[in-house]
Structure 1
C-alpha cells in the first residue's frame, strides 16, 4: 500500500541534536506506525478517532558481541483494539543469532510511556510454545521481561506536534493532530540474555481527532 504523508504547521523543540542509532529500530517518524505491519483500522468516513503508540528499543554491548537487543511496542488500532509486539534478539560471540517475537492482543499494554517525563515500563513473557510467538534458533525457553526506563537527563529529548494529512492509495485521506515525544533512556530490571542497565530509546505518539475525510 502506497502512503504519502504531509505534515503542516509542525513545530519542534529539540534540546540537543539526537543522533542515536540502535539495531532494528522500529520507528523513525511520527507517522511510521500508520504504515507499519500493525496497520490501523480504516474506520468510517467523517468519524473521529484517537490513537496511541508507545515504542521502546535498546541494545547491550553496542560495539561488541555478545549483543542483546529489545524492540517492543503497544498501540491501538482505530477500531479501539489494543495490540502489542515484542522481539528479543541475541547475537552471540561466535556470531550466531537467535530471536523470539510475540504479537497480538495478548501483548497489549506491554509498553507504557509517560510522554511528559519519559518514565517507561516494559513487561511481557515470551514463550516459544505460545501460538502468538515465533522464533529463530531460540533454545533458551521462555523469556520474562520486566524493565523500567528513565530519561537520562542529558538533553537527548525530542518533541514535535502538528497537523497531519495522510494520503493512501485508492484515494483514502486522513487528517489528524499528531504529537511525538522521544527520550534516550537507561533501562534497569531483568530480562533473559541481557545485562542491565543498558541504554535505549522510547517514543510516545498521540494522534487525536484523526478523521477520514475521503
Structure 2
C-alpha cells in the first residue's frame, strides 16, 4: 500500500471538497444558537492501516481535532476540524487541515433512536440510545471512484459524560456484494468542554492564577 494512496484516503476522510463546493451549508444570516446545548470536543486520532489481515499503526497519519457540537431538540449539528502535523505527512500539496460537517436528525422508536444524517462526505444513517451515550453511524461516501479502496465510513461513539470524555472509532472500508473489506481505522479520544464563567483571570504572566 503506497503512502500516496493512504493520504489520498485521509483527505477524503476529513471531507475533502473542491474550492467551488463549500463544506458547510451556505447561509444568508448568522444562526441563532440560543436554543442549542453546545459542547466543544478537543482530542486526537491515531491511525491504523489494514495490511495482511490486521491493522498496523501508521503514526504519520495521526491528527488533532476539535468538534463544535450544537444539540438542538431532535437534531444535532457538528463541525469537525482536523490537523495533521506529523513531519512525514508529505503527500504533495494536499492541505494538512480539513473540515467535516455533520447534521443529524433523530426519530425515537421502540428500540431507541433512529438517526438520519447529512454530511459533507455523503448521506448516512445510524442508531442511538435515548440518552445519546452509544451511537453507530454508517456513511455512504459520495463522488468516489469505484476503484477506490473504500466506499463506506463507520463511526462508533461512546459518550462517557460523567468522565468528560468521548471515545470514537472511525473505519473506512469497501462494501462489495455485502462483504466488508477493511482499509483504514482511526481511534479517537476527546475531552469535553462547556461554556462557563470564571471567578478570576485564569492566567497571569509567568503562570496560572493561584500558583
User: Highest CA radius of gyration, 1 or 2?
Assistant: 2
Query: TM-score, normalised on structure 2?
Result: 0.32
Query: TM-score, normalised on structure 1?
Result: 0.32
Larger relative contact order (C-alpha < 8 A, sep ≥ 6)? 1
Structure (1 or 2) with the greater helix fraction: 2
